[in-house]
């Protein structure tokens, strides 16, 4: 019997196991999938964004949700600088990009994960794959394993089962009903960092895959300049993800297609003689609109008005959409274990059981905040569990 059990072998779970072993406990990590860190590996395919190099107060302001307070405390104790040092300690050099985002020099997640697993193995941590948690069995935790049913009765347990997005990688939110039955307060799951669904007209087909690199997006109190992509299903990309929370909460989304010019400058440019040029040609020449931005203006603004009204439309183009993409397509999720259910990171209804990572009701934008939050809460939950175990 292990003194400490961790369920889930993603970033939060592995960091919790590391903290528990560092406190001298024997640790078993149970993972339902055939291998560990599957979502981490997928996220790192295009470059593993570990964290972001920016002032800590700015970094902490990115976290929201009912558990944002405990998450901020965990990140303050294990923030961007500590995450970078941790990666270096595993032999993985890091670099900071022009946007402040921090990546391993190898870019991919696999070298970091391999080094991490070797370090955990050196601490005596046992990782068991294909161990699917079935729920509580009296005072124990039941698992379906390759060798049959197992019931463990550890002194402390850390749950790190992920949120409810990317089910094929293991984060399916199936744990929620079992915890709710035990009296654990939950906030409903909702997509976070998700694309927008748009039912495009036929003329947009030739623009699928086109990037939009010059635009300002505004939804509610969120306003930023950023890039996104026109896809066959709608709009995707970091700037869209950044406004997804405001859109989910009902705010209208508007695009400024000429963010470098004031409304008066746009109006003056549109007032130039058009001659025999088509409206599309006039817009391209007067406003230097590339095909992607021009297509969006035509799609969401048609029929186009004249004069000052057209200038206002260019500066605040309303985006017609059908809401965020489905939960399982979201990069992360909002909702999960509510702050009311927690005493620190321990579940009030289940003394000795702790939770970390995306199971908790917090969210943050992409750009290093998500992974840092998972690592930090895993470390904090593991340390709290170790203190309870004495």
Q: Does 1 have pLDDT greater than 60?
A: no
Q: Which residues contact 121 (CB under 8 A, 6 or more apart)?
A: 127
Q: Cα–Cα–Cα angle for 367, 220, 364, nearest 5°? A: 25
Predicted confidence (pLDDT) per residue in 64-85, tens digit: 999 999 999 999 999 999 999 9
Contact 29, 9 (CB under 8 A): yes
Residue 303: is it exposed, middle or buried by C-beta count within 10 angstroms (0-12/13-18/19+)? exposed
pLDDT, the chain, mean: 96
For residue 382, is pLDDT > 60? yes
Mean pLDDT, range 113-132, rounded to an integer: 97
User: Is the pLDDT assigned to residue 2 strictly greater than 80?
Assistant: no
Q: How far is CA 270 from CA 181, 220, 274, 301, 387, in A?
A: 62, 28, 8, 15, 67
- Mean pLDDT of the 341-364 span: 98
With b meaning 16 or more CB within 10 Å and e meaning fewer, what string describes 117-138? bebbeeeebebeeebebeebee
Domains identified in the chain and CATH numbers: 4-191+330-389 (3.50.50.60), 196-318 (no CATH)
Assess whether pLDDT exceeds 60 at residue 272: yes
Q: Look up the pTM and report it.
A: 0.94
User: In the structure encoding, which two tokens stand for residue 244, read together?
Assistant: 């997804």
Bridging pattern class, strands 228-231 and 211-212: antiparallel
Whether residue 267 is predicted with pLDDT greater than 60 in this model: the reply is yes
Q: What is the pLDDT of residue 10?
A: 96
pLDDT tens profile 103-118:
999 999 999 999 999 9
Distance CA 222, CA 245 (A): 9
Cβ proximity of 63 and 362 under 8 Å? yes
Q: What is the pLDDT of residues 303-342, one digit of tens each?
A: 999 889 999 999 999 999 999 999 999 999 999 999 999 9
The per-residue pLDDT for 146 is: 97
Burial annotation 214-223 (CB, 10 A radius, 16+ → b, else e): bbbbbbeebe
């Amino acid at each position: 019997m292990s003194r400490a059990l961790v369920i889930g072998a993603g970033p939060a779970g592995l960091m919790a196991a590391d903290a528990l072993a560092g406190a001298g406990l024997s640790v078993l990590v149970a993972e339902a999938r055939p291998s560990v860190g599957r979502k981490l590996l997928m996220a790192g395919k295009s470059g593993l964004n570990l964290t972001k190099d920016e002032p800590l107060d700015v970094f902490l302001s990115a976290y929201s949700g009912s558990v944002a307070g405990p998450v901020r405390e965990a990140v303050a104790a294990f923030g961007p600088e500590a995450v970078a040092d941790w990666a270096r300690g595993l032999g993985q050099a890091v670099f900071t990009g022009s946007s402040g985002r921090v990546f391993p020099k190898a870019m991919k997640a696999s070298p970091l994960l391999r080094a991490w697993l070797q370090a955990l193995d050196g601490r005596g941590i046992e990782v068991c794959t294909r161990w699917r948690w079935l729920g509580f069995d009296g005072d124990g935790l039941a698992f379906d394993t390759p060798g049959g049913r197992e019931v463990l009765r550890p002194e402390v347990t850390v749950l790190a089962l992920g949120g409810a997005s990317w089910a094929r990688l293991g984060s399916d939110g199936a744990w929620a009903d079992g915890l709710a039955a035990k009296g654990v307060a939950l906030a409903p799951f909702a997509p976070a960092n998700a694309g927008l669904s748009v039912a495009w007209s036929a003329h947009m087909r030739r623009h699928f895959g086109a990037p939009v690199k010059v635009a300002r997006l505004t939804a509610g109190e969120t306003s930023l300049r950023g890039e996104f992509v026109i896809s066959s299903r709608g709009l995707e990309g970091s700037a869209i993800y950044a406004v997804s929370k405001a859109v989910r909460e009902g705010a209208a989304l508007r695009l400024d297609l000429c963010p470098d010019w004031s409304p008066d400058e746009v109006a003056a440019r549109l007032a130039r003689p058009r001659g025999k040029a088509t409206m599309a040609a006039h817009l391209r020449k007067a406003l230097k609109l590339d095909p992607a931005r021009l297509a969006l203006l035509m799609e969401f603004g048609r029929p186009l008005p004249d004069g000052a009204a057209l200038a206002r439309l260019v500066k605040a183009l309303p985006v017609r959409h059908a809401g965020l993409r489905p939960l399982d397509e979201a990069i992360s999720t909002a909702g999960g274990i509510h702050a009311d259910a927690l005493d620190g990171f321990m579940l009030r209804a289940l003394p000795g059981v702790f939770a970390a990572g995306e199971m908790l009701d917090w969210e943050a934008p992409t750009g290093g905040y998500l992974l840092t939050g998972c690592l930090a809460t895993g470390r904090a939950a593991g340390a709290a569990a170790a203190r309870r175990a004495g």
